């Protein structure tokens, strides 16, 4: 299954209430791209690349994330004409990113992956990788929101607006995820 029940906890009312000015920007940009404006897509990339990066970072090895981000936006550009609701660009590309992460694991099942902490050179980076690994071991719904909040620096309302999740479910996921992370960090020294 690509998405958990928590992630799909959405309602039309909640979406209507959360219509942000950004959504209007997305609509304009998507329409512009469909009419042949490539710069519009570059703007969409600037807006959504951090979210896609965070979604991937919560699921795939760090070294693969940058290439996958490019792949996902390349795929999105080719398939943009299939997007029916321009305002749903965020949830659409988020779903592409989640599915691409699943595909990545399916394809690379037989290949041996180098641990991220092997690549980390300085102490600060290795500690970051270690904490990221702890987050990755949390339930799927928590890990994505925590990475978007703690790594990408997005606020809860921003996460909700960009991913299409309700603010309530993002808040719950952040709260429960943070609680679990604190428990697991208790075993780590020096934090």
56 neighbors 101 (Cβ within 8 angstroms): yes
Q: How far is the CB of 124 from another protein (least distance, A)?
A: 6
The stretch near another protein (CB under 8 A) out of 7-15, 40-48, 98-106, 107-115 is 40-48
The stretch near another protein (CB under 8 A) out of 16-24, 100-108, 136-144, 167-175 is 167-175
| Burial grade of 124 (CB within 10 A; 0-12, 13-18, 19 or more) | exposed
**Cα separation, 67 vs 139, whole angstroms:** 25
Q: How far is the CB of 149 from another protein (least distance, A)?
A: 7
The stretch near another protein (CB under 8 A) out of 9-17, 92-100, 107-115, 123-131 is 123-131
* Count of residues touching another protein (by CB under 8 A): 47
User: Of 96, 17, 8, 14, whose CA–CA distance to 52 is shortest?
Assistant: 96
The stretch near another protein (CB under 8 A) out of 3-11, 90-98, 99-107, 168-176 is 168-176
**Looking at 28, 102, 153, 184, which residue binds another protein (CB under 8 A)?**
153
Tell me the CA end-to-end span of the chain in Å, nearest whole number.
35
- What number of other Cβ atoms are within 10 A of residue 143's Cβ? 24
**Looking at 105, 119, 175, 184, which residue binds another protein (CB under 8 A)?**
175
Provide the token pair at 129. Answer: 């990788």
**Cα separation, 146 vs 148, whole angstroms:** 5
What's 18's DSSP letter? Answer: T
- Which residues form the interface with another protein (CB under 8 A)? 33-34, 36, 38, 41-42, 45-46, 49-50, 53-54, 57, 62, 66, 69-70, 73-74, 77-78, 80-81, 124-125, 127-129, 131-132, 147, 149-153, 155-157, 171, 174-175, 178, 181-182, 185, 191
């Amino acid at each position: 299954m690509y998405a958990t029940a928590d992630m799909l906890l959405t309602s039309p009312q909640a979406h209507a209430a959360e219509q942000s000015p950004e959504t209007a920007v997305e609509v304009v940009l998507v329409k512009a791209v469909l009419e042949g404006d490539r710069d519009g897509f570059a703007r969409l990339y600037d807006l959504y690349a951090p979210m896609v990066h965070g979604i991937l970072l919560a699921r795939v090895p760090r070294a693969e994330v940058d290439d996958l981000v490019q792949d996902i936006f390349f795929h999105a550009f080719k398939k943009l004409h299939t997007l029916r609701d321009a305002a749903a660009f965020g949830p659409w590309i988020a779903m592409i990113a989640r599915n691409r992460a699943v595909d990545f694991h399916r394809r690379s099942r037989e290949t041996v992956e180098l641990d991220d902490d092997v690549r980390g050179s300085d102490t600060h980076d290795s500690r970051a990788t270690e904490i990221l690994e702890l987050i990755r071991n949390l339930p799927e719904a928590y890990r994505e929101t925590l990475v978007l909040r703690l790594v990408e620096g997005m606020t809860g309302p921003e996460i909700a607006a960009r991913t299409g999740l309700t603010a309530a479910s993002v808040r719950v996921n952040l709260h429960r995820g943070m609680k679990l992370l604190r428990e697991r960090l208790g075993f780590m020294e020096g934090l």
